[in-house]
Amino acid sequence: MRVVSGTAKGRPLKSVPGTGTRPTTDKVKEAIFSMIGPYFDGGDVLDLFAGTGGLGIEALSRGMDSAVFIDMEPKSIDTVRENLKTARLAEKAEVYRNDANKALGALEKRGRIFDLVFLDPPYRHKFGDELMALMADKGLLRQGAVIVLEHESGYEYPEQIPGFEQLRHAVYGETAVSIYRYLSGEVTDIDKDEGVQE
């Protein structure tokens, strides 16, 4: 794995030791950023279930101002910190070991608001839409924020989630990516793309 583009382009990223994490492949990462970017003019990103931190690091490399990385596993936290150092992006990042729900509560207390969120929970968990609703309830999302939800291709999240609209849905083998925009209760068809199947 490596950083695909931006200021840290080409820098290698380590995987988390063991088989408990499922890093996003470079192919899927490139596809995600071609759909949501590919580059950014600032903003704040949250990488929940960070794993290696590859998605949040890629977002920083491509122009995001800051990133918060959350994961429950100590090995993941160590790997994220190491990868941030390798990418020379550690000064733009905060890394916390915490469970997703508790982390969102802590971020709410600190008044954090995000423009981009990566949600890549273990495939056995099907609560991405619940986490999105929780983030909206806690005021963690800026109007127009983009949420990238990675999940197994055999499972489909609804196109319409209250307060959100699905912009894209793409399948890459066993992995699916559903991209939503936060509309703060408004639902519109503007900029809605048809799903892409690969």
Q: CA–CA separation, 57 vs 134, rounded Å?
A: 24
Q: CA–CA separation, 58 vs 118, rounded Å?
A: 11
In the chain, domain spans: 26-163+182-187
Specify the CATH superfamily of domain 26-163+182-187: Vaccinia Virus protein VP39 (3.40.50.150)
pTM of the entire predicted model: 0.90
All residues at 6 or more sequence positions from 80 whose CB lies less than 8 Å from its CB, including other chains: 50, 51, 52, 53, 69, 71, 95
**43: buried, middle or exposed (CB in 10 Å: 19+, 13-18, 0-12)?**
middle
Dump pLDDT digits (tens) for 84-117.
Answer: 999 999 999 999 999 999 999 999 999 999 999 9
* pLDDT value at residue 194: 40
**141, 135 in Cβ contact below 8 A?**
yes
Residue 193 has pLDDT above 80, yes or no: no
Residue 19 has pLDDT above 60, yes or no: no
Pull the structure tokens for residue 69: 């990385």
- State how beta strands 164-172 and 175-182 pair: antiparallel
Percent of the chain clearing pLDDT 90 (strictly above): 79
- Please compute Rg for the chain using Cα positions: 15
Pull the structure tokens for residue 20: 């408990």
Ramachandran bin of 17, using left for φ above 0, alpha for ψ from -120 to 50, beta for the remaining angles: beta
Residues 110-128: b if buried by 16+ CB within 10 A, e if exposed: eebbbbbbbbbbeeeeeeb
* Mean pLDDT of the region 161-170: 94
